[in-house]
Amino acid sequence: MACGSCGTTVNGVPRGCKSNGNCGTGTCGSGSEKLAVFDWLSNMTLPSGQERFNIFEVRFKNGRKHFYRNTENLTISMGDVVAVESSPGHDIGVVSLAGELVKVQMKKRNIAIDSDEINKIYRKATQKDIDIWQAARDKEEETQRKGREILSRLGLQMKLSDVEYQGDGNKATFYYTAESRVDFRQLIRDFASAFSVRVEMKQVGARQEAARLGGVGSCGRELCCSTWLTDFRKVTTSAARYQQLSLNPLKLAGQCGKLKCCLNFELDSYLDALKPFPKQELVLKTEKGEAIFVKMDIFKNFLWYTYKDESSKWYRLTLDHVLEIIELNKNNELSASLEEYESEIELPTKVSFEDAVGEDSLTRFDVPIKSKRRKKSKKKFTEVAEKSIVDTPQKSGNQPRKPQPQKQKQQQQPQKQAQKPASVNNPENVNQPNATTQSTNKKRYNNRNRKNRKPKNDSNSQ
């Protein structure tokens, strides 16, 4: 549904209210409103002499919609807030659809144009009507909380899912779900005395409850029942069997706890594709033995069979091969083995990514990158180890000798021998101590030890 500014002009150019889905009338239907309908006939003029259709579709809380007749010939457009007839009093709603599309919606719901169920529109809502309506809507959350407390006190086996106040605030409708029949006569008395309104109890199913509350499904999108799905068809587990799905209740159940409605969406396509396939209970008779069905790929026309005696290996066959074997079995003839049929299948090669533009492969981030530095260090370490093993002589026990300390000793010995004659040949230097020896003989103290030293006599410490 949309307001007048969201439509198109006569030339087909969109007007564009630039509200980005947050229209002031609240009727753009871009996810904010449930079961939205766009009036694609808004830019078309009626033939000369034909009057505009005087029945409008009015939307209430949580996508509840009803049809009302404009008996007063008021100038009403989509998005207007109107006061409509109710029992008792009046209710406040928003016009969601007008014009010729209302006939299509009435035909879909099997409602006749001259039906007595169609109430009338009183007037356009005034500011006073809107204030009373908003005040009644603000009380719904608190009413639902107190209503659940009363339910728990009475011990009734039912769940209160939602509360909706009428536009004038004189009546409240309580929506509940229950698995069995519940006697709520005492509950109605308690509700009437607690909230001082006329009470109406309405039981809904699990699917209707999910449609009213809304939510996000396992596919990541908003629930179909709360956005566009209006009728709830029966969903059975046979729909999952036809589509070769695992019968896991956790995966097949939706937010309502029942089977997902989307199981019926593609069921017709699967049924059409399954028509040429043979029955799964059929046993194939070959020269090697009898073969039984394992699984199938419906849209690729592949079937897998295995022998009864050797069930460890599966054989892939095409649909034409299976039909050929069945035709031979009808004539009391045995077909060739499954291995021969499988060898005739030519599987198409998978086209991988080609580096046509000079880019890397698409899976370049999937393989972890190994550091080159680690390889170089490892290679260098192995070269040094091999070199040391080759250079050093080995003892009888195949143990490498440590030659480095001996080489250093041999290099240090000639230096000491060269220093000794200097002191012997110069007798003058015998009695003269060397500066280096004095420095080494002098006792050194660290700053830390110097601070920690204490005098021996406490009296001479000063």
Q: Are both 74 and 150 inside the same structural domain?
A: no
- Same domain? For 152 and 121 the reply is no
Tell me the residue range of the domain where 172 lies. 134-211
Question: Of 125, 150, 178, which residue sits at a domain end?
Answer: 125
Same domain? 117 vs 203: no
Do both 107 and 169 map to the same domain?
A: no
User: Domain check: are 121 and 140 in the same one?
Assistant: no
Residues paired with 91 in a beta bridge: 84
Q: Please tell me whether residues 43 and 105 are part of one structural domain.
A: yes
Phi, psi angle pair for 227, to nearest 5° = -115, -50
166 and 67 both lie in a single domain: no
C-alpha dihedral sign at 371, 373, 376, 381:
negative
- The pLDDT of residue 116 is 85
140, 90: one domain: no
pTM above 0.85, yes or no: no
Residue 430: the pLDDT is: 41
- State the Cα–Cα distance between residues 208 and 229, nearest whole angstrom: 11
148 and 207 together in one domain? yes
Domain with 205 in it: what CATH number?
A: 3.30.300
pLDDT at 179: 86
One domain for residues 103 and 153: no
Instruction: Looking at the structure, tell me whether residues 87 and 163 fall in a common domain.
Output: no
Regions in the chain scoring below 70 on pLDDT: 1-36, 351-365, 367, 369-378, 384, 387-462
Question: What are the tens digits of pLDDT across the range 111-135?
Answer: 998 888 899 999 999 999 999 999 9
Kindly calculate the radius of gyration of the chain based on its CA atoms and give it in whole angstroms: 46
Is 37 inside a domain boundary? yes
In a domain, 389, yes or no: no
Which of 158, 180, 211 is where one domain is finished? 211
pLDDT at position 355, please?
Answer: 58
Domains of the chain: total:
3
Question: Do 139 and 188 reside in the same domain of the chain?
Answer: yes
* Residue 61 pLDDT: 87
Which tens digit of pLDDT belongs to each residue from 211-225? 888 889 989 998 998
What does each C-alpha distance from 219 to 160, 222, 231, 243 come to in angstroms? 28, 9, 20, 18
CB 264 within 8 A of CB 258: no
- Please give the Cα distance from 135 to 448 (Å, whole number): 84
